[in-house]
Amino acid sequence: MSRFDDTIVALSTAPISNSGALAIVRVSGGSTRAVIKRITGGVPEARTATFKQFYDYNKERFDSGILLFFESPKSFTGEDLAEFHIHGSDAVVEILIESCLKCSNSEALIRHARPGEFSERAFLNGKIDLAQAEAISELIGAKSRNVVKALNRILSGEYGEKINNLGKDILKIRSEVEVQIDFSAEDVGSFQAVRCKKSIDNICSELNQLIKQGKEGKKLNQVFKVVIAGPPNVGKSSLLNTFLNENRAIVNSNAGTTRDLIKSELILAKCIIELSDTAGFRETKDPVEKEGIKRTFDACKNADLILFLLDRNCYKKKFGIDWLQLVKTLEKYTKVFIIINKTDTTSRKNLLSHKQKEHQFIYGTSTKTRRGLDDLKIAIEEVFASEQLQNERTDALSLNQRSLSNMGTCVKYLQSAKKNLKELKFDLLAEDLKVGHAKLFEITGNVTSEDVLSKIFSSFCIGK
C-alpha cells in the first residue's frame, strides 16, 4: 500500500523538441484511475497495451496512442500507475500533462513529479532497495555493454540480498554480545568467543570480495584517452570527424584553425574512448596558439594512445620542428601510432618507404577516400582489447562510491570489533557491531536518513 496521498505526473522519455516520434508520460498515485477516465473515457484492463483516443480537459481530442495501466501493488512504484504513449511533439506532451494536472482537486492533489520521485516511491513502497534505485539512474547513463551487465547484477536484487544477509549476520552476533554485557569480564557465560571471531572473519571476507568486485566495476567506466596530434593541416580535424561520422571539428586550410582541445566520446572494442583533436605543433609567436600547443603536449603526456598525423612531407623538418624526434619524445609517455594521412596524394612507393623507417606503428590513411581507416580502427581496438577481455571475464559490480565507502567502513568497524573481542571489551564490541551494521544497511536503504535520500534521488532525471 502506498504511503503517499498525492499523485505525480511527468514526461518519462527524454525531451524531444518536436523531433521524436513518440513520448511517454507517466502518472502514479491514488488518482491515476480518475486521470485515465477523464482523458480516455475508461480504465483499461491492467497490464495490457490498449489503443485509446486522448481528450483534453475540455473533452477535445488531441491525440491517440497506447495506454498501459498497472494496478497497485503490481507496478514499478507500488501504486496505481499509467503510461501514456503519445506522439512526440512538445505541444502534445504539454496538453497531456496539463490535462492530468487539471484533474486535481482539494481532496486529491495531482502535481508535477520531482526528479527521481517515481524511483523514490518505488523504494519507499518496498518495490526496490536503494542500491537498485541508484543502479536504475546509472543504467540510463551507461555508455558500454559491460557497464550494463554489471549494473544488472545489482538490478537483479542479488547484491542487495547479499548485503541484507550480511547485515543480519552482524545483528545476530550483536545480540549475543548484548547478552554477554550482563556478565563480568571474568564470567563469559556460554558466550563462544572463537565462534564469534570466525563469524566476523567470514563477514569481512565476503565484504572484501564485494569491494573487489566493485573496484573491478569502476574499471568498466574507465575512459581511454586517445589524442590526435601532429603538425597543422595534416588532417587531424578531418580524422576526428571521420571517426565520429559528424562535423565535430572545423576543417580549414589555414594553419592554426584548431587552438584548443576538441573532445568527443565513442565506443571502440566495447571500451569508452575519449578522442581529442588538438592544436597543431609548430613554432609560433601567437600567445593564444602557444597556449593551445602547450595544452596539446599536456594532453599527449596523459594519453593512453597518441595518433600522430603526418602527411607526404612527414619526414622533412617543417614549421621548425623535427617530427620524428618529437614522436620519440612522446613515446616516453605512451604508445604512439604514426599516421601518414592524405595517402590519396602519396604514391604507394613513397608510402612503403615511410613504413621502412625505424618506427613500427605506421599506418597510411586518407580521410578523403577512407583508405586505411578500417585497419587503423582495428589497430586501436587491439590496444585496448586486453582490457576488454579482462572486463568480460570478471563478475564486476558497478557500485557507486557510496556503496564502496560504506562497505569499507563496515569492514573497519568489524576489525575493531575483533580487537575488542580479544580483550573481552564487550561494550565496545557491541558498539562496533552496531555502527558496522548501520553502515551496511545504509547501502540498501534499511537504515537511511531523509537527507541521504533527498541527495540521492535529486540527482535522478525527472520522470524516473
What is the model's pLDDT at position 129? 92
C-alpha cell at 181: 554485557
Which residue did the predictor score with more confidence, 77 or 107? Answer: 77
Q: What pTM value is reported for the model?
A: 0.72
pLDDT in tens, 123-132: 999 999 999 9
Q: Residue 162 and residue 207: Cα distance in Å, rounded?
A: 10
3-state secondary structure of 72: coil
- The gap from C-alpha 395 to its chain's centroid, in whole angstroms, comes to 17
Residue 71 has pLDDT above 60, yes or no: yes
What is the model's pLDDT at position 255? 47
Q: Residue 239 and residue 307: Cα distance in Å, rounded?
A: 10
pLDDT band at 377 (very low <50, low <70, confident <90, very high): confident
Q: Residue 418 and residue 244: Cα distance in Å, rounded?
A: 55
pLDDT band at 389 (very low <50, low <70, confident <90, very high): low
User: Which residues make beta-bridge pairs with 318?
Assistant: 321
Contact 256, 286 (CB under 8 A): yes
Residue 351 has pLDDT above 50, yes or no: no
The two counts, helices (H) then strands (E), for the chain are 15, 12
Q: Residue 256 and residue 328: Cα distance in Å, rounded?
A: 23
User: Do the domains spanning 7-128 and 133-219+398-445 agree at the CATH topology level?
Assistant: no
Rounded (10°) CA dihedral 5, 6, 12, 18: 170
pLDDT in tens, 151-202: 998 999 999 999 999 999 999 998 888 877 766 555 555 567 888 999 999 9
Boundaries of every domain in the chain = 7-128, 133-219+398-445, 223-393
Contact 273, 267 (CB under 8 A): yes
Contact 383, 305 (CB under 8 A): yes
3-state secondary structure of 41: coil
What is the model's pLDDT at position 372? 81
Architecture in CATH of 7-128: 2-Layer Sandwich (3.30)
What is the model's pLDDT at position 226? 92
Q: Where are the beta strands (DSSP E) in 46-196?
A: 50-55, 61-70, 81-87, 110-112
3-state secondary structure of 9: strand
| CATH class of this structure's domain 133-219+398-445 | mainly alpha
Q: Kindly state which CATH superfamily the domain 223-393 is placed in.
A: P-loop containing nucleotide triphosphate hydrolases (3.40.50.300)
Q: Residue 196 and residue 426: Cα distance in Å, rounded?
A: 12
Does an H or E element contain 377, and which? helix 373-393
Contact 366, 341 (CB under 8 A): yes
pLDDT in tens, 246-270: 665 544 444 444 556 788 888 776 7
What is the model's pLDDT at position 269? 67
What is the model's pLDDT at position 186? 52
Q: Residue 416 and residue 428: Cα distance in Å, rounded?
A: 9
What is the model's pLDDT at position 455? 75
What is the model's pLDDT at position 349? 47
According to DSSP H, which parts of 156-253 are helical?
Answer: 158-180, 193-220, 236-244
C-alpha cell at 19: 523531433
73 upstream amide cis, omega within 30 of 0? yes
What is the model's pLDDT at position 253? 46
Contact 277, 261 (CB under 8 A): yes
**pLDDT (average), residues 372-397:** 75
Q: Residue 229 and residue 279: Cα distance in Å, rounded?
A: 7
Give the strands of the sheet with 81-87, arranged side by side. 50-55, 61-70, 81-87, 22-28, 7-11, 110-112
Going by C-alpha positions, the residue among 155, 150, 149 that lies closest to residue 130 is 155
